[in-house]
Amino acid sequence: MVNIAVLVSGGGTNLQALIDSERSGKITAGKITLVVASNENAYALERAKKAGIETAVIRRKDYADQDACDRALVSCLKEKDIDMVILAGYLTILGETMIAAYRDRIINIHPSLIPSFCGKGFYGLRVHEAALERGVKVTGATVHLVNEIPDGGRILLQKAVEVREGDTPEILQRRVMEEAEWILLPKAAQMLAESLEEE
């Protein structure tokens, strides 16, 4: 069984989708054994506790630089025998130390069809605001492997979502979550965990 850590920063709706998928048997190759938050007030920590999953908080501001924060994160993950990492609304960019330690074992969900509306500065509502400003008729979500380039790793899965007349960034964000993110992330988690099990 592949041990999975989920990295979070906020409400944890994607984390909840993963927990629910594990419980319903959609994720069988891996088990979420740790949730790490970049912020001690993340509601995602409550979700993890309710599900009986161990938690940790590693805040960037508690460390001298990105590398020191990365080293603390890697050491926490290694201590818990973590095999793969899922970024689920994690707002801290990972540095080289962390990426090297888990090369091709970190996946991220991004709320657009990469290469549109992605990269540095595109996160949360900003992505949906940009999509609406551009006037696109279709948006969606992408799960990709994480490398040194923000949103630049190999794409694993994508799903398109229709943009509707009268959409606000908030309405669009919710639709993309419900119709794409919560479906793709558990699928990708199972895919990667299966491939790691075979190694």
Residues with catalytic roles? 110
Residue 126, classed as helix, strand or coil, is helix
Element (H, E) at 78: helix 66-79
Q: Could you tell me if residue 108 is left (phi over 0), alpha (psi between -120 and 50 degrees) or otherwise beta? A: beta
Q: CA 142, CA 146: separation in Å to the nearest integer?
A: 12
- Phi, psi (degrees; rounded to nearest 5) at 142: -135, 135
Residue 167: both structure tokens together: 């959409």
